[in-house]
């Protein structure tokens, strides 16, 4: 059986700077009509900066929707005309000041595929050099450096709840074990 849902009519409800909310009329696989509400997003990147001492450079920042501080891998949206790799290089330098080195792709993450088109491209960064942070005007981040094993433990105990950070860190830890 083909499970594909077919778009009958795309309906833009809200057109924001980053998010674009739709409520589309669709046809279900059995032909019956229905609707789907979802948000289009241009995509994002995240980077696990890993030092030679097996430490991870993280950023701590306030996340307004969750009303709390979070500990995350450096990340951000892909700018128009930018490749995921270019976005990863830019975000890493903006948030941490780190530049150069080697960025290795480790996969893609669908953050919430039932309601959001966002795809996060994940990377591991090694061999970088330090520099000055230059975050966006509305971005306030603190750099935190922790051993990879400690970051994994913080994920397992629920202290780190950010999905992209969990996925990228756990994937990094598993890849290093192979």
Active site residues: 137
Q: Which two tokens stand for residue 6?
A: 């077919």
Name the pairing type of β-strands 44-49 and 119-126: parallel
Q: Residue 146 pairs with which residues in a beta bridge?
A: 56
123-140 burial, b if ≥16 CB within 10 A, otherwise e? bbbeebeeeebebeeeee
CA 46 to chain centroid: 5
Task: Classify residue 50 by its DSSP letter.
Answer: B
CB contact at 8 A, 163 and 155: no
């Amino acid at each position: 059986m083909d499970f594909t849902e077919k778009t009958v009519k795309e309906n833009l409800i809200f057109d924001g700077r980053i998010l674009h909310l739709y409520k589309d009329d669709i046809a279900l696989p059995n032909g019956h009509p229905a609707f789907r509400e979802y948000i289009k997003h241009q995509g994002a990147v995240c980077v696990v900066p890993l030092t030679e001492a097996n430490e991870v450079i993280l950023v701590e920042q306030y996340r307004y929707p969750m009303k709390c501080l979070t500990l995350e891998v450096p990340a951000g949206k892909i700018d128009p005309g930018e490749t995921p790799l270019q976005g990863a290089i830019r975000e890493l330098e903006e948030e941490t000041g780190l530049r150069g080195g080697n960025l290795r792709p480790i996969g893609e993450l669908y953050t919430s595929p039932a309601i959001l088109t966002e795809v996060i491209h994940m990377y591991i960064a090694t061999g970088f050099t330090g520099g000055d942070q230059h975050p966006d005007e509305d971005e306030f981040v603190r750099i935190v450096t922790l051993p990879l094993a400690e970051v994994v433990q913080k994920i397992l105990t629920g202290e780190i709840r950010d999905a992209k950070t969990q996925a990228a860190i756990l994937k990094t830890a598993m890849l290093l074990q192979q």
